[in-house]
Amino acid sequence: MLRFENVGLRYGMGVEIVRDLSFSIKPQSFQFLTGPSGAGKTTLLRLMLLSLKPTRGIVKIFGQDASTLDKDSITSLRRRIGVVFQDFRLLDHLTTYENVALPLRVMGRVEANYRAEVVELLRWVGLGERMNALPAVLSGGEKQRAAIARALIARPELLLADEPTGNVDPGLARRLLRLFVELHKSGTAVVIATHDLALMDQFGEARRLVVGDGRLQIFDGESP
């Protein structure tokens, strides 16, 4: 599904931020991406999403060499990827319900066919009473949950989540992780960036991609 071959990234003439990255993400796999702050976790996620281009090496996604793709092809491939950003990226003029339903609207689905699905997911993440609220009146934790629901609603083939439980309490964090696991079991490959070791230990058999000093170490486990 996703393969990096000797990938490196630098800005201008500076030193490489990440270097010699070689790994693959298999379909229907589950892994944590971890490492200290500033180690390059977010940079690696952006390379996976093709929002950054490597300065060397090869990135292949869904079997295609990213360096050969034009803008329209990249946009098309991204529709197969769900993303949870640290800054949420909710659209301010849309309600919680409309933000979560947006990927389905972009896909051309008719609202009558997906409304119940969106409502059910919002209730599951604790936003059932906030469906008609605009982002401006949501708390940080509520925005985080809305962003997670939006990333999950279209059942993507690949999910990339950057610190998805950083603004919620431990109990809700465990609940959200279970939601990610269920998505994985339904066929989605999941990559969750986090520095929360206690949370990862609850899924001790999951694979860990550990970034440090711009390099990557892989500790393989079984699916959770």
For residues 204 and 209, give the distance between their C-alpha atoms in angstroms, rounded to a whole number. Answer: 13
Burial of 206 (0-12, 13-18, 19+ CB in 10 A): buried
Average pLDDT over residues 72-85: 92
pLDDT in tens, 104-144: 999 999 999 999 999 999 998 899 999 999 999 999 889 98
- Give the contacts of 94 (CB within 8 A, at least 6 positions apart): 102, 134, 135
pLDDT in tens, 164-204: 887 778 887 888 888 888 889 889 999 999 988 887 887 77
Q: Go through the domains of the chain in sequence order and give each one's CATH number.
A: 1-80+156-224 (3.40.50.300), 90-154 (no CATH)
Q: Are strands 189-193 and 56-61 parallel, antiparallel or unpaired?
A: unpaired
Considering the entire predicted model, what is its pTM?
Answer: 0.88
